[in-house]
Structure 1
Amino acid sequence: MLALLCLAALPARAEDPQSVAFFGITLLNTSMEPVTEAEAARLQAAEAQIVETMTESGRFTFVDTAPIAEEADRYTNLAQCNGCDSAFAQDLGADLAMSGEFQKTSNLILSFTLYLRDAETGNLVGGGSADIRGNTDDSWHRGVRYILRNRILK
């Protein structure tokens, strides 16, 4: 009986982390200006920020997407491929599929959207959008941080 009481006093075991197949972020440039090296670097930094922040939360792990890379490369934007991202994630054995978009309307107006879908059903289970003012390292970082804090990790 004492053993049962001791076990009941222990905190419940945390849920196992969900595995995520992250297919990156697509830059949709409708600004009529060429994509700069700085923007390409910001895109890579945003992807790294997402993986790092979600991993550090202890709630997510990331699977290697290399096994389906050749097939995925046939699509321009995995965030808008009618569920191919979920199918790819399921093929990889992941629980969730994640993809995103940065849309650059001008150097002043940008938006960031992140989609988190159930790999089995394709249903949207998380994500969000953030409007960004200014095309700087800091503004991109803040936009990503906002979605992670307020939509994914809340």
Structure 2
Amino acid sequence: MTAFTAVADAGQKLAVFPIDMSFPQSEEDFFSGTKGPTPDEQRRLDMVQAELKKLLGANGRYDIVDTTALTEKMTAVRPFYTCNGCEVDLGSEAKADLVMTGLVDKISETHLSLNVAIVDVAKGKLVSNDSVLIQGNTDESWMHGVRWLSKNRLLGEGKSQ
């Protein structure tokens, strides 16, 4: 009975993939090309991914899967929001039950939104899609946003993937 209890109490295996960022498009972008995140924004994207892993893993609902072995493959298909479901294949390869992708949409220099989607790997279906508005392009505002999203949406009452 002990083995059964341990399995029943174990969280679902969740692969948290790197967070992508999208930018507003302008006419100028057609000539100069869109620019990626600034070094500070890239550092914040990495911080958001690490914080999501920490918060979701500490709750017990999820067991965070190590995706280090998939780094090259993830880099090749990014951004995830344009890869047409490749996250499911990568999640299967990582032996995850669920995969999480995230997108920070830079609306302006001071307004961003963080959107996270959780997909059931076996079914290939979206099970959760949540977002938060981040007001301010600073470490503090990004961390406030990801913590609020985790507490109130991803781990909030009634959420059971």
TM-score > 0.5 by shorter chain:
yes
Alignment partner of 2:70 out of 46, 68, 71: 68
Q: Hey, what does 1:108 align to over in structure 2?
A: 110
Moved more, 72-81 or 83-92: 72-81
Distance 1:78 1:35, change over 3 A: closer
Matched, 1:40 2:71: no
Q: Which digits, 9 at most, give the CA deviation of each residue in 1:71-128, with x for residues without a partner?
A: 3322121244222101211122110011100111221111110111101112111230
Count of matched residue positions in the alignment of Structure 1 and Structure 2 = 143
TM-score by length of 1: 0.81
State how far apart, in whole Å, the 2-side matches of 1:42 and 1:89 are: 24
Contact 1:79 / 1:115 at 8 angstroms: preserved in 2? no
Matched, 1:15 2:15: no
State how far apart, in whole Å, the 2-side matches of 1:34 and 1:44 are: 14
State how far apart, in whole Å, the 1-side matches of 2:143 and 2:120 are: 26
Q: Hey, what does 2:129 align to over in structure 1?
A: 127
Indicate the percent of aligned positions where both proteins have the same amino acid. 33
Moved more, 111-120 or 22-31: 22-31
Distance 1:93 1:140, change over 3 A: same
State how far apart, in whole Å, the 2-side matches of 1:72 and 1:38 are: 21
Q: How far off is 1:34 after superposition?
A: 6.1
The one-letter code of the counterpart of 1:84 is: C
Structure 1: runs of 5 or more not aligned? 1-11
Q: Hey, what does 1:54 align to over in structure 2?
A: 56
Question: Root-mean-square deviation (CA), in Å?
Answer: 2.1
Moved more, 122-131 or 52-61: 122-131
State how far apart, in whole Å, the 2-side matches of 1:81 and 1:34 are: 18
Contact 1:86 / 1:121 at 8 angstroms: preserved in 2? no
Moved more, 78-87 or 105-114: 78-87
Q: How far off is 1:33 after superposition?
A: 6.9
1:74 is paired with a residue of what secondary structure?
helix
